[in-house]
Amino acid sequence: MHTVVVGTSGVTAADVLAVARGGARIELSGEAVAALTAARAIVDQLAAKPDPVYGVSTGFGALATRHISPELRAQLQRNIVRSHAAGMGPRVEREVVRALMFLRLKTVCSGHTGVRPEVAQTMADVLNAGITPVVHEYGSLGCSGDLAPLSHCALTLMGEGDAEGPDGVVRPAGELLGEHGIAPVELREKEGLALLNGTDGMLGMLLMALADLDTLYKSADITAALSLEGLLGTDKVLAPELHAIRPHPGQGASAANMLAVLKGSQLTGHHQDDAPRVQDAYSVRCAPQVAGAGRDTMAHARLVAERELASAVDNPVVLPDGRVESNGNFHGAPVAYVLDFLAVVAADLASIAERRTDRLLDKNRSHGLPPFLADDAGVDSGLMIAQYTQAALVSEMKRLAVPASADSIPSSAMQEDHVSMGWSAARKLRTSVDHLTRVLAVELYAATRAVELREGLAPAPATQAVIEAVREAGVQGPGPDRFLAPDLAAADAFVREGRLVAAAESVTGPLQ
């Protein structure tokens, strides 16, 4: 099994995905253990002094003015975990919780949190055992970190609350730890707070969304190319010299992908056969511009994610010179903004894909295709209601594109008076990415049928490879009406699992 070694820095997006989705094992490097030990020594020194130090010998948030005596500090750390584990609603997905825990471990190992090495090792042991704390949908405001979600994870480290075992069954966390020989942690000064104070949930969901969107943007270039073929459109608008004079990198990449997919097609460039048509509709002609702008937004989001991966987010933090300082680095604004940006571009990509689908189904705009791509229009409804489903998904995506990060509700008796709502931005982005997959699956379903109905004209080798692969995957071609839901589900899986991109790349080579 793949192993990720955690040091004081250098964790990558690939590492996060390997742990969250691939079940990779985790090891702590000697460098990390040394950094943990050194930072803990500083915390212990401060804890022994009579002067109050926030997070070490005081209360938290609006209660930070109270000095806590030594005999109550272990109780304080337990209490902050128990009281902050206040999430409600449905359970969060296993991969999100694993990303959340791993990213918190990454920051703990930076040596800036003051957590003991044995606490960090327990975090790694829980992940390696396949134990997943029960984390709920609601509870994080994305400021002071993802407090409630991280608290539920810390509760599991203490042997309290509920967790899911490697068998998928939810049981008391103490039982699961015992079965795997993991001793519950006894938290000491600063440790409870350090386990809760991070942007780890929203960052983990950002990294997974970027990985999924990378596949989906390539998928969208392929479905757009198929729709262009189905509509007998022109590929001249994809010429590199046209995109060079508006040099947005994403636009150029999308145009190049479409051109590669369409290479050798007999279905493109038939405008001369249809005198009233001078140029294609925007949803076809401007596909690279829209998808390209989304790609460039993703590039900015990756930059933010890389910076956040290189960060040690906690409050207070232990500095190399021995100071323990309060700060505002836990505020989720940088991550929240790009999560919202991605929901906007995902909604627009879905919107333009839906417009192409509708055009394929409309006999007045499809340039010779049967109404709704039906076998016997009137007797058969064809793909009429598949487009309804697609439209419903797009409509919801537009609602999900309303930014969460523009909102703020003060908390903690006005001490935390401006919050990021980044967790909420991440949660709605996950739904949006899920919907985008389905929207592209419907376009794929319609476009492949349209291309097959253009008898006597051969599609490009790459699109032919896609058609053959999607038919082998159980998505049926033209014919009389049938139960559509299974076909749509098979198309969804074909896109979701990356098989659409793989089929096209079997001819084109790697797409951008």
Active site residues: 54
d(CA 196, CA 144): 8
Please state at what angle helix 147-157 crosses helix 200-230, rounded to 10 degrees. Answer: 120
Helix (H) or strand (E) holding 350: helix 333-361
CA nearest neighbour of 208 among 10, 440, 430, 432: 430
The CA–CA distances, whole Å, from 491 to 147, 148, 231, 382, 488 equal 38, 37, 21, 16, 5
Cis check: omega of the bond before 316, within 30 degrees of 0: yes
Q: How far is CA 279 from the centre of its chain?
A: 37
Q: CA 175 to CA 187: how far, in whole Å?
A: 19
Q: How far apart, in whole angstroms, are the C-alpha atoms of residue 115 and residue 126?
A: 17
* Rounded Cα gap, residues 267 and 457, in angstroms: 6
Which residues lie closer than 8 Å to 8 by C-beta, 6 or more apart? 29, 31, 32, 35, 109, 110, 111
How far apart (Å, rounded) are the C-alpha atoms in residues 27 and 15?
12
Return d(Cα 399, Cα 238) in angstroms, integer: 32
Separation of alpha carbons 460 and 450, rounded Å:
14
